[in-house]
Amino acid sequence: MPSRGRHQSSSKECLRAIGKIEAMPGVVGVIIGRSYGGKSLGQGGKTGEIRVQREVSGGLKAVTQTSKGLQELFIRTKEGAAEQVWKAIQEA
């Protein structure tokens, strides 16, 4: 599934990280959402770092640090695989 969304200003590092997530078992695809300039994931937030925020129906809501701010992501998972995918992202 190709990455889609309203705004695709992700850096090369972010696109690489998204590609790794799409290759994980249990992931159907990653949808790129809105971009927010000037914000940060906080201490040690490197470009391309992905932080899962919460589990929602159908997958996970997450954000990634871009060179210019934050990019929203929706990680679509297979039924029952969200928790496993969340753990795999944290360990990566």
pLDDT in tens, 19-72: 999 999 999 999 988 888 776 665 556 788 899 999 999 999 999 888 778 889
Give CA–CA dist 88/16, Å, rounded: 16
pLDDT at 43 (0 to 100):
57
Distance CA 72, CA 66 (A): 10
Tokens for 56?
């929602």
Q: Evaluate if residue 92 carries a pLDDT over 90.
A: no
Q: Three-class SS of residue 50? A: strand
**Is 70 exceeded by the pLDDT of residue 1?**
no
For the entire predicted model, the pTM comes to 0.81
